[in-house]
Structure 1
Amino acid sequence: MTRTGERTTVTSDAVLDSALTLFAALGYHGTALSQIAGALEVRTPSLYNHMRSKHDLLLTIVRRTVTGVLDDFTAATDGLTDPRDRLLAATRAYALRHATHRREAIVVNRDTSSLDEPHRSEMQALRRTHDHALRAIIEEGVAAGRFSIDSPALGSFAIREMCVSVARWFRDDGPMTAEQVAEEYTGFALRIVGAE
């Protein structure tokens, strides 16, 4: 957002960022377009130069976040063959994302169900892709004798939920950095799967 004389010039990125902040704080349904406009110091009709609807803002946030999680997973695990190494890398990446993208995590985990179809099902399917990929690592580790857990599905759920919780409590000015938290969480993940 920039000011030109007395006029405020708003960008699409600024609209999305303000929506993200308000959705995280108030919820998608608790946020009015007038509040987004107010945060940007513009009139509500001006927002339509940068978006189609409030729903479109939510869809953009969810899509960018979910694809970002999958991109992180791929980048972290690509080229690794040992299940233990892959689990460590995947957990570290997921915990780190939730420490560094807290607003996005809160919105996605609370408000994805507010998307209209077919977008809701599409985004939920992408989220399941991450779940299945993490579960596959655990299953490979069990098959190789590296992990000893009866339910890889439950292990995957526990690791993902543990990482998701980081978005709710982590603070940049806290006693640990995001990287330290992510590293600590890798040890928790190993214990969950009963790593050797």
Structure 2
Amino acid sequence: MTRQALTAETVLDAALTRFAARGYHGTALSEIAAALDVRTPSLYNHMRSKHDLLLTIVERTVHGVLDDFHAAVDGRTDPLERLHHAVLVYAHRHATHRREALVVNRDTSSLEEPHRTTMQDLRREHEHALRAIITDGVRQGRFDVGSPALASFAIREMCVSTARWFSDDGPLTAEQVAREYTEFALTIVGVGRYASS
């Protein structure tokens, strides 16, 4: 069996797998090196530090979530349509990027400043944008929910949980789970099923 070429991406991928399984603080660089069948000093040709690996994972993931969100909702004006598409991509991402989701949701607080605050602010940007859609829907009479903040929290937590239980070998595909969760989200805000065009 030929050993995989050692690159910045292979080091990052190995770190991602181990951070997801054991946590950032529970993973030693020597374990990442062992997974790649190299000595630990060899890693430094492709990374600056273990913290740098975590920062790269969190940055890519948080920006990916925001990019998904804007691609899904920008140009749409109807709150119901915006919420449908926002939840669809968020749930799907957590089913298809499970390692990243586990690391970001557990280990962002391990980042050093100012990176921790920057990443937390970007995560809140997504949180507030989703809440704003629900608030707008309530204002327009499209949604019937007493607390947009609580509804937003429930929807996000539901989607985030997918990373903990979803399996590619399970009875449902990532697309099916995302669509079901989207319907659950619409029930949370007090509307029926979404008839997509």
Length-normalised TM-score, structure 1:
0.95
Moved more, 12-21 or 71-80: 71-80
SS in 2 for 1:150: coil
Match of 1:95 in 2: 91
What letter corresponds to residue 130 of structure 1 in structure 2?
A: H
- Give me the whole-angstrom Cα distance separating, in 2, the residues matched to 1:74 and 1:117: 27
After superposition, the CA RMSD in angstroms is 1.0
Match of 1:159 in 2: 155
SS in 1 for 2:106: helix
Query: What whole-Å deviation, never above 9, does each CA across 1:162-190 have from its counterpart, x for those lacking one?
Result: 00000000000100000000000111101
Match of 1:109 in 2: 105
1:139-154 residue pairs with structure 2 within 5 A? Answer: 139-154=135-150
Query: What whole-Å deviation, never above 9, does each CA across 1:2-57 have from its counterpart, x for those lacking one?
Result: 74xxxx64010000000000000010000000000000000100000011000000
What letter corresponds to residue 124 of structure 2 in structure 1?
A: R
SS in 2 for 1:49: coil
State how many pairs are aligned. Answer: 191
Pairwise CA distance, 1:194: 1.1
Are 1:29 and 2:25 an aligned pair? yes
1:160-179 residue pairs with structure 2 within 5 A? Answer: 160-179=156-175
TM superposition outliers: structure 1 runs of 4+ over 2 Å = none
Match of 1:190 in 2: 186
Match of 1:56 in 2: 52
Are 1:137 and 2:150 an aligned pair? no
Match of 2:195 in 1: none
- Give me the whole-angstrom Cα distance separating, in 2, the residues matched to 1:44 and 1:136: 47
Query: What whole-Å deviation, never above 9, does each CA across 1:142-168 have from its counterpart, x for those lacking one?
Result: 000000111111111110000000000
Length-normalised TM-score, structure 2:
0.95
- Give me the whole-angstrom Cα distance separating, in 2, the residues matched to 1:9 and 1:195: 51
What letter corresponds to residue 158 of structure 2 in structure 1?
A: M
- In the alignment, structure 2 segments of 5+ residues that lack a partner are 193-197
